[in-house]
Amino acid sequence: MSPAQGPVLADSSQSARGNVADVTDPAAALARPGDPGWWRTGVVYQIYPRSFADSTGDGVGDLPGIIEHLDHLAGPDGLGVEAIWLSPIYPSPGLDGGYDVADYSAIDPLFGSMDDFDRLIKEAHRRGLRVLLDLVLNHTSDRHPWFEASRASRTGPEADWYIWRDPAGTHRSGRPIPPNNWLSFFGGSAWQWDEGRRQFYLHTFLAQQPDLNWREPFVQEAVFGMVRGWLRRGVDGFRLDVFNALLKSSDLASNPPGRRLARSPWQRQRHLHDKDQADLLPLLALFRSMVDEAPGRMTVGELFAGDIGQAVALTRPGHLVFDFELLGQPWSAASFRRTIAERERAFGEAWPTVVLSNHDQSRHVSRFLRTLGRQDQRTHDAVAKAAAVLLLTLRGTPFVYYGEEIGLPDIRVPNALAIDPPARRASWRFPWWNRDRCRSPMPWTGDPGAGFTTGRPWLPFSPDHVTRNVARQAEDSDSVLATYRRLLRLRAATPALHGGGLRLIPSPGEDVLAYERELDGGRAVVAINFGLRRFVWAPPPGSWKVALSTGPRAVGSPLGDTPRAPQLEPLEALIALEG
Protein backbone atom coordinates (compact mmCIF):
# COMPACT_ATOMS: atom_id res chain seq x y z
CA MET A 1 0.00 0.00 0.00
CA SER A 2 1.43 3.38 -0.93
CA PRO A 3 1.50 6.30 1.55
CA ALA A 4 -0.99 8.11 -0.68
CA GLN A 5 -3.57 5.43 -0.02
CA GLY A 6 -3.36 6.05 3.70
CA PRO A 7 -4.07 3.55 6.46
CA VAL A 8 -7.02 1.25 5.94
CA LEU A 9 -9.43 0.30 8.72
CA ALA A 10 -11.46 -2.82 8.17
CA ASP A 11 -15.16 -2.53 8.94
CA SER A 12 -15.26 -6.07 10.26
CA SER A 13 -14.99 -6.44 14.02
CA GLN A 14 -13.16 -9.73 13.54
CA SER A 15 -10.32 -10.47 11.16
CA ALA A 16 -10.54 -13.61 9.08
CA ARG A 17 -6.78 -14.01 9.49
CA GLY A 18 -6.23 -13.06 13.14
CA ASN A 19 -7.49 -14.72 16.28
CA VAL A 20 -9.67 -12.50 18.43
CA ALA A 21 -10.32 -12.85 22.14
CA ASP A 22 -13.90 -14.08 22.40
CA VAL A 23 -16.10 -12.60 25.11
CA THR A 24 -17.11 -15.24 27.61
CA ASP A 25 -18.52 -12.78 30.15
CA PRO A 26 -20.40 -9.98 28.31
CA ALA A 27 -21.35 -8.40 31.62
CA ALA A 28 -17.70 -7.56 32.23
CA ALA A 29 -17.74 -5.04 29.40
CA LEU A 30 -20.83 -3.36 30.84
CA ALA A 31 -19.52 -3.06 34.39
CA ARG A 32 -17.11 -0.30 33.44
CA PRO A 33 -16.67 2.58 35.91
CA GLY A 34 -18.27 5.90 34.91
CA ASP A 35 -16.75 9.38 34.38
CA PRO A 36 -15.61 9.52 30.74
CA GLY A 37 -13.04 12.22 31.55
CA TRP A 38 -11.30 10.23 34.29
CA TRP A 39 -8.05 10.14 32.31
CA ARG A 40 -7.51 13.85 32.99
CA THR A 41 -8.14 13.73 36.73
CA GLY A 42 -7.18 10.18 37.68
CA VAL A 43 -3.96 8.35 38.50
CA VAL A 44 -2.72 5.22 36.67
CA TYR A 45 -0.77 2.52 38.50
CA GLN A 46 1.62 0.45 36.38
CA ILE A 47 1.89 -3.24 37.27
CA TYR A 48 4.75 -5.35 35.97
CA PRO A 49 2.86 -8.66 36.29
CA ARG A 50 5.94 -10.87 36.74
CA SER A 51 6.87 -8.89 39.84
CA PHE A 52 3.60 -7.99 41.55
CA ALA A 53 2.31 -11.14 43.32
CA ASP A 54 2.75 -14.89 42.74
CA SER A 55 -0.21 -17.15 43.62
CA THR A 56 1.29 -20.47 42.48
CA GLY A 57 4.73 -20.57 44.09
CA ASP A 58 6.66 -20.65 40.81
CA GLY A 59 8.38 -17.35 41.63
CA VAL A 60 6.64 -15.36 38.90
CA GLY A 61 3.75 -12.97 39.48
CA ASP A 62 0.40 -13.75 37.89
CA LEU A 63 -3.17 -12.54 37.39
CA PRO A 64 -4.66 -14.26 40.50
CA GLY A 65 -1.89 -12.59 42.51
CA ILE A 66 -2.94 -9.19 41.15
CA ILE A 67 -6.57 -9.90 42.04
CA GLU A 68 -5.58 -10.77 45.61
CA HIS A 69 -4.02 -7.33 46.02
CA LEU A 70 -6.57 -5.08 44.30
CA ASP A 71 -7.65 -3.73 47.69
CA HIS A 72 -4.15 -2.34 48.11
CA LEU A 73 -4.94 -0.13 45.13
CA ALA A 74 -8.61 0.70 45.52
CA GLY A 75 -9.97 -0.69 48.81
CA PRO A 76 -11.15 1.46 51.74
CA ASP A 77 -7.55 1.68 52.96
CA GLY A 78 -5.99 1.44 49.52
CA LEU A 79 -4.00 3.95 47.53
CA GLY A 80 -6.95 5.40 45.65
CA VAL A 81 -5.75 5.14 42.05
CA GLU A 82 -8.24 5.10 39.17
CA ALA A 83 -6.67 2.60 36.79
CA ILE A 84 -4.10 -0.15 36.49
CA TRP A 85 -1.89 -0.68 33.45
CA LEU A 86 -0.61 -4.21 32.95
CA SER A 87 2.68 -4.74 31.13
CA PRO A 88 2.28 -7.54 28.52
CA ILE A 89 0.47 -10.69 29.66
CA TYR A 90 0.27 -12.40 26.24
CA PRO A 91 2.01 -15.69 25.36
CA SER A 92 5.66 -14.92 24.73
CA PRO A 93 9.08 -16.59 24.61
CA GLY A 94 10.05 -13.95 27.19
CA LEU A 95 13.16 -12.74 25.38
CA ASP A 96 12.21 -9.11 26.05
CA GLY A 97 10.12 -9.33 29.19
CA GLY A 98 6.94 -10.16 27.29
CA TYR A 99 7.37 -7.42 24.68
CA ASP A 100 7.97 -10.21 22.14
CA VAL A 101 4.35 -11.29 21.68
CA ALA A 102 3.59 -14.72 20.20
CA ASP A 103 -0.23 -14.43 20.38
CA TYR A 104 -2.09 -11.16 20.86
CA SER A 105 -5.40 -12.81 21.72
CA ALA A 106 -4.52 -15.09 24.61
CA ILE A 107 -3.06 -15.09 28.11
CA ASP A 108 0.38 -16.55 28.75
CA PRO A 109 -0.10 -19.63 30.99
CA LEU A 110 2.73 -18.17 33.09
CA PHE A 111 0.22 -15.53 34.25
CA GLY A 112 -2.95 -17.64 34.35
CA SER A 113 -5.93 -18.15 32.05
CA MET A 114 -8.50 -16.12 30.19
CA ASP A 115 -10.93 -16.94 33.01
CA ASP A 116 -8.45 -15.31 35.40
CA PHE A 117 -8.34 -12.26 33.16
CA ASP A 118 -12.13 -12.00 33.05
CA ARG A 119 -12.20 -12.26 36.83
CA LEU A 120 -9.58 -9.52 37.07
CA ILE A 121 -11.71 -7.22 34.91
CA LYS A 122 -14.79 -7.98 37.00
CA GLU A 123 -13.05 -7.49 40.36
CA ALA A 124 -11.28 -4.33 39.22
CA HIS A 125 -14.48 -2.78 37.89
CA ARG A 126 -16.31 -3.72 41.08
CA ARG A 127 -13.79 -1.55 42.94
CA GLY A 128 -14.04 1.31 40.44
CA LEU A 129 -10.69 0.46 38.85
CA ARG A 130 -10.16 0.60 35.10
CA VAL A 131 -7.84 -1.84 33.36
CA LEU A 132 -5.40 -0.86 30.60
CA LEU A 133 -3.46 -3.40 28.54
CA ASP A 134 -0.04 -2.97 26.95
CA LEU A 135 -0.27 -3.22 23.16
CA VAL A 136 2.99 -4.06 21.40
CA LEU A 137 2.04 -3.26 17.81
CA ASN A 138 5.36 -2.35 16.21
CA HIS A 139 6.61 -5.93 16.23
CA THR A 140 5.77 -9.50 17.24
CA SER A 141 7.82 -12.47 18.33
CA ASP A 142 9.39 -14.46 15.52
CA ARG A 143 7.35 -17.34 16.94
CA HIS A 144 4.04 -15.61 16.21
CA PRO A 145 2.02 -17.62 13.65
CA TRP A 146 1.85 -14.51 11.47
CA PHE A 147 5.63 -14.36 11.14
CA GLU A 148 6.01 -18.09 10.73
CA ALA A 149 3.57 -17.91 7.79
CA SER A 150 5.25 -14.79 6.40
CA ARG A 151 8.74 -16.26 6.38
CA ALA A 152 7.49 -19.51 4.82
CA SER A 153 6.68 -17.98 1.43
CA ARG A 154 7.17 -14.85 -0.66
CA THR A 155 3.75 -15.34 -2.24
CA GLY A 156 1.55 -16.59 0.61
CA PRO A 157 -1.33 -14.59 2.13
CA GLU A 158 0.90 -13.29 4.97
CA ALA A 159 3.98 -12.69 2.80
CA ASP A 160 3.84 -8.89 3.21
CA TRP A 161 2.73 -8.75 6.84
CA TYR A 162 6.35 -7.96 7.83
CA ILE A 163 8.97 -5.75 6.20
CA TRP A 164 11.03 -7.93 3.85
CA ARG A 165 13.62 -6.72 1.35
CA ASP A 166 16.18 -8.17 -1.02
CA PRO A 167 19.85 -7.53 -0.19
CA ALA A 168 21.50 -4.40 -1.52
CA GLY A 169 24.31 -6.55 -2.86
CA THR A 170 26.81 -9.17 -1.81
CA HIS A 171 30.12 -8.89 0.03
CA ARG A 172 33.22 -10.46 -1.47
CA SER A 173 32.76 -13.19 1.11
CA GLY A 174 29.34 -13.93 -0.34
CA ARG A 175 27.51 -12.46 2.64
CA PRO A 176 24.36 -10.48 1.67
CA ILE A 177 24.41 -6.73 2.32
CA PRO A 178 21.44 -5.20 4.26
CA PRO A 179 19.01 -2.99 2.28
CA ASN A 180 20.02 0.19 4.14
CA ASN A 181 21.94 1.46 7.18
CA TRP A 182 19.13 1.25 9.76
CA LEU A 183 20.18 0.10 13.20
CA SER A 184 18.55 -1.94 15.94
CA PHE A 185 17.99 -0.07 19.19
CA PHE A 186 19.41 -3.16 20.90
CA GLY A 187 22.63 -2.98 18.85
CA GLY A 188 23.78 -4.01 15.38
CA SER A 189 21.95 -3.84 12.08
CA ALA A 190 18.15 -3.63 12.08
CA TRP A 191 18.10 -6.23 9.27
CA GLN A 192 18.24 -9.99 9.79
CA TRP A 193 18.95 -12.38 6.93
CA ASP A 194 16.44 -15.22 6.59
CA GLU A 195 17.88 -18.17 4.71
CA GLY A 196 14.45 -19.61 3.91
CA ARG A 197 13.07 -16.55 2.07
CA ARG A 198 16.52 -15.42 0.94
CA GLN A 199 15.61 -11.92 2.10
CA PHE A 200 16.22 -9.59 5.04
CA TYR A 201 13.48 -8.71 7.53
CA LEU A 202 13.42 -5.56 9.67
CA HIS A 203 13.69 -5.63 13.47
CA THR A 204 13.93 -2.34 15.35
CA PHE A 205 14.71 -4.29 18.52
CA LEU A 206 15.82 -7.93 18.94
CA ALA A 207 16.26 -10.10 15.85
CA GLN A 208 13.52 -12.25 17.41
CA GLN A 209 11.15 -9.23 17.25
CA PRO A 210 10.37 -8.66 13.55
CA ASP A 211 8.57 -5.41 12.70
CA LEU A 212 5.03 -5.59 11.35
CA ASN A 213 4.29 -3.93 8.03
CA TRP A 214 1.60 -1.40 8.93
CA ARG A 215 1.29 -0.39 5.27
CA GLU A 216 -0.28 -3.78 4.58
CA PRO A 217 -4.11 -3.49 4.92
CA PHE A 218 -4.52 -7.04 6.21
CA VAL A 219 -2.16 -6.29 9.11
CA GLN A 220 -4.39 -3.42 10.15
CA GLU A 221 -7.46 -5.59 9.74
CA ALA A 222 -6.03 -8.36 11.92
CA VAL A 223 -4.71 -6.04 14.64
CA PHE A 224 -7.87 -3.95 14.83
CA GLY A 225 -9.97 -7.10 15.05
CA MET A 226 -7.84 -8.28 17.96
CA VAL A 227 -8.18 -4.92 19.72
CA ARG A 228 -11.96 -5.03 19.38
CA GLY A 229 -11.90 -8.43 21.05
CA TRP A 230 -10.16 -7.06 24.13
CA LEU A 231 -12.50 -4.06 24.24
CA ARG A 232 -15.47 -6.42 24.23
CA ARG A 233 -13.99 -8.18 27.23
CA GLY A 234 -14.17 -4.92 29.19
CA VAL A 235 -10.69 -3.46 28.74
CA ASP A 236 -10.75 0.31 29.35
CA GLY A 237 -7.79 1.35 27.24
CA PHE A 238 -4.26 0.65 26.12
CA ARG A 239 -0.68 1.70 26.49
CA LEU A 240 0.82 1.71 22.97
CA ASP A 241 4.42 0.53 22.95
CA VAL A 242 6.80 2.65 20.79
CA PHE A 243 3.78 3.76 18.78
CA ASN A 244 5.60 6.47 16.81
CA ALA A 245 7.70 3.75 15.14
CA LEU A 246 4.75 1.86 13.62
CA LEU A 247 5.17 3.34 10.16
CA LYS A 248 8.44 3.45 8.23
CA SER A 249 9.20 5.37 5.04
CA SER A 250 7.99 3.43 2.03
CA ASP A 251 11.27 3.84 0.13
CA LEU A 252 13.39 2.64 3.09
CA ALA A 253 15.99 5.35 2.52
CA SER A 254 19.11 5.20 4.70
CA ASN A 255 19.21 7.48 7.73
CA PRO A 256 21.62 10.44 7.71
CA PRO A 257 24.41 10.70 10.31
CA GLY A 258 23.52 11.92 13.78
CA ARG A 259 25.75 12.81 16.72
CA ARG A 260 29.18 11.45 15.81
CA LEU A 261 30.32 11.20 19.44
CA ALA A 262 27.07 9.84 20.88
CA ARG A 263 27.37 7.01 23.41
CA SER A 264 25.42 4.39 21.44
CA PRO A 265 25.43 3.52 17.73
CA TRP A 266 21.66 4.18 17.59
CA GLN A 267 22.23 7.82 18.58
CA ARG A 268 24.79 8.29 15.82
CA GLN A 269 22.00 8.35 13.24
CA ARG A 270 19.16 10.79 12.66
CA HIS A 271 16.13 8.53 12.53
CA LEU A 272 14.24 10.27 9.74
CA HIS A 273 13.01 7.21 7.89
CA ASP A 274 12.49 4.40 10.43
CA LYS A 275 9.97 6.23 12.66
CA ASP A 276 7.86 9.42 13.01
CA GLN A 277 6.28 9.27 9.56
CA ALA A 278 3.70 11.87 8.54
CA ASP A 279 0.89 9.37 8.04
CA LEU A 280 1.04 8.17 11.65
CA LEU A 281 -1.64 10.72 12.62
CA PRO A 282 -4.31 9.30 10.28
CA LEU A 283 -3.52 5.82 11.55
CA LEU A 284 -3.82 7.03 15.14
CA ALA A 285 -7.16 8.69 14.32
CA LEU A 286 -8.50 5.40 12.94
CA PHE A 287 -7.34 3.56 16.03
CA ARG A 288 -8.97 6.15 18.29
CA SER A 289 -12.25 5.99 16.35
CA MET A 290 -12.46 2.34 17.32
CA VAL A 291 -11.48 2.93 20.96
CA ASP A 292 -13.94 5.82 21.22
CA GLU A 293 -16.93 3.65 20.36
CA ALA A 294 -17.54 3.54 24.12
CA PRO A 295 -17.00 6.58 26.39
CA GLY A 296 -14.25 6.68 28.97
CA ARG A 297 -11.65 4.63 27.15
CA MET A 298 -8.18 6.11 26.97
CA THR A 299 -4.86 5.37 25.32
CA VAL A 300 -1.34 6.48 26.11
CA GLY A 301 1.53 6.21 23.67
CA GLU A 302 5.15 5.55 24.50
CA LEU A 303 7.17 8.10 22.55
CA PHE A 304 10.18 6.20 21.25
CA ALA A 305 13.35 8.31 21.12
CA GLY A 306 11.42 11.57 20.73
CA ASP A 307 11.14 15.01 22.29
CA ILE A 308 8.48 17.20 23.90
CA GLY A 309 7.46 18.74 20.58
CA GLN A 310 6.69 15.33 19.11
CA ALA A 311 4.75 14.36 22.24
CA VAL A 312 2.57 17.47 21.96
CA ALA A 313 1.97 16.92 18.23
CA LEU A 314 0.70 13.38 18.88
CA THR A 315 -1.46 14.17 21.93
CA ARG A 316 -5.21 14.04 21.37
CA PRO A 317 -8.32 14.04 23.60
CA GLY A 318 -8.29 10.67 25.29
CA HIS A 319 -4.84 9.89 23.88
CA LEU A 320 -1.88 10.89 26.04
CA VAL A 321 1.81 10.65 25.17
CA PHE A 322 4.75 9.89 27.46
CA ASP A 323 7.48 12.45 26.81
CA PHE A 324 9.80 11.26 29.65
CA GLU A 325 11.53 14.61 30.11
CA LEU A 326 10.78 14.57 33.84
CA LEU A 327 12.00 10.99 34.13
CA GLY A 328 15.47 12.00 32.99
CA GLN A 329 16.05 14.72 35.61
CA PRO A 330 18.41 14.47 38.60
CA TRP A 331 17.28 15.50 42.10
CA SER A 332 17.66 19.21 41.42
CA ALA A 333 15.15 22.00 41.89
CA ALA A 334 16.77 23.94 39.05
CA SER A 335 16.54 21.00 36.65
CA PHE A 336 12.89 20.35 37.43
CA ARG A 337 12.01 24.05 37.29
CA ARG A 338 13.58 24.32 33.83
CA THR A 339 11.90 21.12 32.57
CA ILE A 340 8.48 22.03 33.98
CA ALA A 341 8.66 25.46 32.35
CA GLU A 342 9.60 23.88 29.02
CA ARG A 343 6.76 21.34 29.25
CA GLU A 344 4.19 23.98 30.17
CA ARG A 345 5.19 26.16 27.21
CA ALA A 346 5.12 23.22 24.82
CA PHE A 347 1.88 21.52 25.92
CA GLY A 348 -0.19 24.68 26.39
CA GLU A 349 -3.81 23.51 26.58
CA ALA A 350 -2.86 19.92 25.72
CA TRP A 351 -2.79 17.42 28.57
CA PRO A 352 0.61 15.89 29.52
CA THR A 353 1.60 12.81 31.50
CA VAL A 354 3.72 12.86 34.66
CA VAL A 355 6.21 9.99 34.99
CA LEU A 356 9.23 9.57 37.26
CA SER A 357 9.80 5.79 36.92
CA ASN A 358 8.84 2.82 34.75
CA HIS A 359 9.90 -0.71 33.81
CA ASP A 360 12.76 0.49 31.57
CA GLN A 361 14.47 3.07 33.78
CA SER A 362 16.21 3.28 37.13
CA ARG A 363 13.67 3.83 39.91
CA HIS A 364 13.52 7.49 40.78
CA VAL A 365 14.35 7.17 44.48
CA SER A 366 17.61 5.42 43.55
CA ARG A 367 18.45 8.05 40.91
CA PHE A 368 17.71 10.90 43.29
CA LEU A 369 19.77 9.42 46.14
CA ARG A 370 22.71 9.13 43.76
CA THR A 371 22.35 12.86 43.03
CA LEU A 372 22.43 13.62 46.75
CA GLY A 373 25.26 11.19 47.46
CA ARG A 374 23.27 9.72 50.37
CA GLN A 375 22.02 6.17 51.01
CA ASP A 376 20.71 6.23 54.61
CA GLN A 377 17.10 5.17 55.23
CA ARG A 378 16.00 8.52 56.65
CA THR A 379 17.10 10.39 53.52
CA HIS A 380 15.70 7.59 51.36
CA ASP A 381 12.22 7.97 52.86
CA ALA A 382 12.34 11.78 52.82
CA VAL A 383 13.23 11.82 49.13
CA ALA A 384 10.56 9.22 48.30
CA LYS A 385 7.89 11.35 50.04
CA ALA A 386 9.00 14.62 48.45
CA ALA A 387 9.11 12.97 45.02
CA ALA A 388 5.56 11.68 45.59
CA VAL A 389 4.38 15.25 46.09
CA LEU A 390 6.08 16.27 42.85
CA LEU A 391 4.66 13.33 40.90
CA LEU A 392 1.09 13.81 42.09
CA THR A 393 0.75 17.61 42.00
CA LEU A 394 2.20 18.58 38.61
CA ARG A 395 -0.23 19.27 35.78
CA GLY A 396 -1.05 16.11 33.89
CA THR A 397 -2.00 12.47 34.45
CA PRO A 398 0.40 10.78 36.89
CA PHE A 399 1.63 7.23 36.34
CA VAL A 400 2.80 5.44 39.50
CA TYR A 401 5.15 2.49 38.95
CA TYR A 402 4.49 -0.40 41.34
CA GLY A 403 6.63 -0.16 44.48
CA GLU A 404 7.02 3.61 44.29
CA GLU A 405 4.45 3.87 47.07
CA ILE A 406 6.88 2.22 49.51
CA GLY A 407 10.03 3.81 48.10
CA LEU A 408 11.23 0.60 46.43
CA PRO A 409 14.81 1.06 45.15
CA ASP A 410 16.75 -0.56 42.33
CA ILE A 411 18.41 -3.90 42.97
CA ARG A 412 21.87 -5.05 41.92
CA VAL A 413 22.02 -7.68 39.17
CA PRO A 414 25.39 -8.29 37.47
CA ASN A 415 25.15 -8.09 33.69
CA ALA A 416 26.56 -11.61 33.46
CA LEU A 417 23.48 -12.87 35.34
CA ALA A 418 21.01 -10.53 33.66
CA ILE A 419 17.65 -11.69 32.33
CA ASP A 420 17.39 -8.51 30.24
CA PRO A 421 18.92 -9.63 26.86
CA PRO A 422 20.75 -6.42 25.85
CA ALA A 423 22.34 -6.17 29.31
CA ARG A 424 24.16 -9.44 28.74
CA ARG A 425 25.91 -7.84 25.74
CA ALA A 426 26.59 -4.47 27.37
CA SER A 427 30.07 -2.99 26.94
CA TRP A 428 31.73 0.35 26.35
CA ARG A 429 30.82 -0.08 22.68
CA PHE A 430 27.21 -0.86 23.56
CA PRO A 431 26.24 0.94 26.80
CA TRP A 432 23.07 -0.46 28.31
CA TRP A 433 21.36 -0.06 31.67
CA ASN A 434 20.26 -3.46 33.02
CA ARG A 435 16.46 -3.20 33.26
CA ASP A 436 16.31 -6.12 35.72
CA ARG A 437 17.37 -3.63 38.37
CA CYS A 438 14.03 -1.80 38.34
CA ARG A 439 11.84 -4.93 38.07
CA SER A 440 12.38 -6.64 41.44
CA PRO A 441 9.39 -8.40 43.06
CA MET A 442 7.00 -6.38 45.21
CA PRO A 443 7.67 -6.96 48.93
CA TRP A 444 4.30 -7.32 50.66
CA THR A 445 5.68 -8.57 53.99
CA GLY A 446 9.00 -9.08 55.73
CA ASP A 447 8.74 -12.86 55.49
CA PRO A 448 11.38 -14.90 53.57
CA GLY A 449 9.23 -14.89 50.43
CA ALA A 450 8.25 -11.24 51.07
CA GLY A 451 4.59 -12.23 50.74
CA PHE A 452 5.30 -12.34 47.00
CA THR A 453 5.96 -16.06 46.57
CA THR A 454 6.44 -19.33 48.43
CA GLY A 455 9.09 -20.32 45.89
CA ARG A 456 12.24 -18.76 44.48
CA PRO A 457 11.54 -15.31 43.01
CA TRP A 458 12.42 -14.79 39.36
CA LEU A 459 14.53 -11.78 40.39
CA PRO A 460 16.07 -10.99 43.80
CA PHE A 461 14.15 -8.94 46.34
CA SER A 462 15.40 -5.53 47.35
CA PRO A 463 17.98 -6.00 50.13
CA ASP A 464 15.88 -3.89 52.53
CA HIS A 465 12.61 -5.79 51.91
CA VAL A 466 12.48 -7.09 55.50
CA THR A 467 11.86 -3.52 56.69
CA ARG A 468 10.66 -1.88 53.45
CA ASN A 469 7.43 -3.68 52.66
CA VAL A 470 3.71 -2.95 52.43
CA ALA A 471 2.69 -4.61 55.71
CA ARG A 472 5.35 -2.77 57.73
CA GLN A 473 4.57 0.60 56.19
CA ALA A 474 0.80 0.13 56.54
CA GLU A 475 1.29 0.17 60.33
CA ASP A 476 3.35 3.37 60.29
CA SER A 477 1.45 6.64 59.93
CA ASP A 478 4.69 8.40 58.90
CA SER A 479 5.72 5.90 56.21
CA VAL A 480 6.13 6.50 52.49
CA LEU A 481 2.98 4.43 51.93
CA ALA A 482 0.97 6.52 54.37
CA THR A 483 2.17 9.66 52.59
CA TYR A 484 1.03 8.31 49.21
CA ARG A 485 -2.39 7.43 50.62
CA ARG A 486 -2.90 10.89 52.14
CA LEU A 487 -1.56 12.59 49.03
CA LEU A 488 -3.81 10.68 46.64
CA ARG A 489 -6.89 11.45 48.74
CA LEU A 490 -5.96 15.13 48.92
CA ARG A 491 -5.40 15.21 45.15
CA ALA A 492 -8.77 13.59 44.44
CA ALA A 493 -10.57 16.05 46.73
CA THR A 494 -8.84 19.18 45.38
CA PRO A 495 -9.83 20.19 41.83
CA ALA A 496 -6.93 22.62 41.56
CA LEU A 497 -4.46 19.75 42.05
CA HIS A 498 -5.93 17.38 39.51
CA GLY A 499 -7.30 19.78 36.92
CA GLY A 500 -5.91 23.26 37.38
CA GLY A 501 -3.32 25.25 35.53
CA LEU A 502 0.24 25.57 36.80
CA ARG A 503 2.32 28.68 37.50
CA LEU A 504 5.92 28.47 38.70
CA ILE A 505 6.71 30.68 41.70
CA PRO A 506 10.09 32.43 41.97
CA SER A 507 12.32 30.65 44.47
CA PRO A 508 14.32 32.15 47.35
CA GLY A 509 17.09 29.63 46.82
CA GLU A 510 18.41 27.20 44.24
CA ASP A 511 17.13 24.18 46.17
CA VAL A 512 13.46 25.21 46.38
CA LEU A 513 10.86 24.45 43.72
CA ALA A 514 7.46 26.08 44.16
CA TYR A 515 4.38 26.34 41.98
CA GLU A 516 0.73 27.27 42.20
CA ARG A 517 -2.23 25.30 40.85
CA GLU A 518 -5.56 27.05 40.26
CA LEU A 519 -8.97 26.03 38.95
CA ASP A 520 -12.22 28.02 39.09
CA GLY A 521 -10.89 30.24 41.86
CA GLY A 522 -9.59 27.38 43.99
CA ARG A 523 -5.87 27.68 44.69
CA ALA A 524 -3.19 25.31 45.92
CA VAL A 525 0.48 25.98 46.38
CA VAL A 526 3.24 23.37 46.39
CA ALA A 527 6.77 23.87 47.72
CA ILE A 528 9.57 21.29 47.73
CA ASN A 529 12.97 21.69 49.33
CA PHE A 530 15.41 19.57 47.31
CA GLY A 531 18.30 20.45 49.62
CA LEU A 532 19.74 19.20 52.89
CA ARG A 533 19.41 22.52 54.75
CA ARG A 534 16.49 24.70 55.84
CA PHE A 535 15.15 27.50 53.67
CA VAL A 536 12.96 30.43 54.58
CA TRP A 537 10.11 30.44 52.11
CA ALA A 538 7.00 32.62 51.88
CA PRO A 539 3.93 31.55 49.89
CA PRO A 540 2.11 33.95 47.54
CA PRO A 541 -0.14 36.53 49.20
CA GLY A 542 -3.28 35.00 50.65
CA SER A 543 -4.61 33.01 53.55
CA TRP A 544 -3.03 29.57 53.31
CA LYS A 545 -3.38 26.48 55.44
CA VAL A 546 -1.20 23.40 55.29
CA ALA A 547 -3.02 20.47 53.69
CA LEU A 548 -0.04 18.08 53.65
CA SER A 549 3.57 18.20 54.73
CA THR A 550 6.24 15.53 54.56
CA GLY A 551 7.96 17.27 57.46
CA PRO A 552 6.83 18.07 61.01
CA ARG A 553 4.31 20.75 59.99
CA ALA A 554 0.78 20.11 61.27
CA VAL A 555 -2.13 19.83 58.84
CA GLY A 556 -4.39 22.86 59.17
CA SER A 557 -1.67 25.16 60.48
CA PRO A 558 -1.52 28.61 58.87
CA LEU A 559 1.12 29.38 56.28
CA GLY A 560 1.91 32.96 55.40
CA ASP A 561 0.48 36.25 56.71
CA THR A 562 2.25 35.55 60.00
CA PRO A 563 4.97 37.64 61.70
CA ARG A 564 7.49 34.91 61.01
CA ALA A 565 8.06 33.44 57.54
CA PRO A 566 7.88 29.65 57.49
CA GLN A 567 10.97 27.53 57.09
CA LEU A 568 11.10 24.55 54.78
CA GLU A 569 12.88 21.69 56.50
CA PRO A 570 15.52 19.71 54.56
CA LEU A 571 13.79 17.61 51.86
CA GLU A 572 10.36 18.78 53.04
CA ALA A 573 7.50 19.03 50.57
CA LEU A 574 4.27 20.75 51.46
CA ILE A 575 0.91 21.55 49.94
CA ALA A 576 -1.17 24.47 51.18
CA LEU A 577 -4.72 25.42 50.22
CA GLU A 578 -6.20 28.88 50.24
CA GLY A 579 -9.01 29.61 52.66
Tell me whether residue 342 is one of the annotated catalytic residues: no
pTM attached to this predicted model = 0.94
Q: What is residue 5's predicted lDDT score, i.e. its pLDDT? A: 36
Residue of 96, 241, 323, 572 marked active site: 241
Q: Helices (H), strands (E): how many in the chain?
A: 16, 21
Rounded to 5°, the CA angle 310-313-314 comes to 90
Question: Domain residues of the chain, as ranges?
Answer: 9-140+217-485, 499-578
* Residue 394 to residue 515: CA distance in whole angstroms: 9
Residue of 115, 148, 166, 293 marked active site: 293
- Per-residue pLDDT tens for 36-59? 899 999 999 999 999 999 999 999
- Which residues are CB-neighbours of 576 under 8 A, at least 6 positions away? 524, 525, 527, 539, 544, 545, 546, 547, 559, 560
Tell me whether residue 241 is one of the annotated catalytic residues: yes
509 band by pLDDT with thresholds 50, 70 and 90: confident
Query: Which H helix or E strand runs over 343?
Result: helix 333-347
Quick one: which of 70, 91, 126 has its CA closest to 21? 91
Quick one: which of 73, 15, 20 has its CA closest to 44? 73
Sheet holding 191-194, edge to edge: 164-165, 199-202, 191-194
CB 15 within 8 A of CB 226: yes
pLDDT beyond 50 at 8: no
- Which range among 236-240, 267-271, 391-395, 418-422 shows the weakest confidence by mean pLDDT? 418-422
422 band by pLDDT with thresholds 50, 70 and 90: confident
User: What top-level class would CATH report for the domain 499-578?
Assistant: mainly beta
CB 84 within 8 A of CB 132: yes
Highest mean pLDDT among 148-162, 408-422, 554-568: 148-162
Indicate the average pLDDT of the chain: 92
Q: What is residue 10's predicted lDDT score, i.e. its pLDDT? A: 36
Give the domain 9-140+217-485 fold. TIM Barrel (3.20.20)
- Per-residue pLDDT tens for 249-303? 999 999 999 988 888 899 999 999 999 999 999 999 999 999 999 999 999 999 9
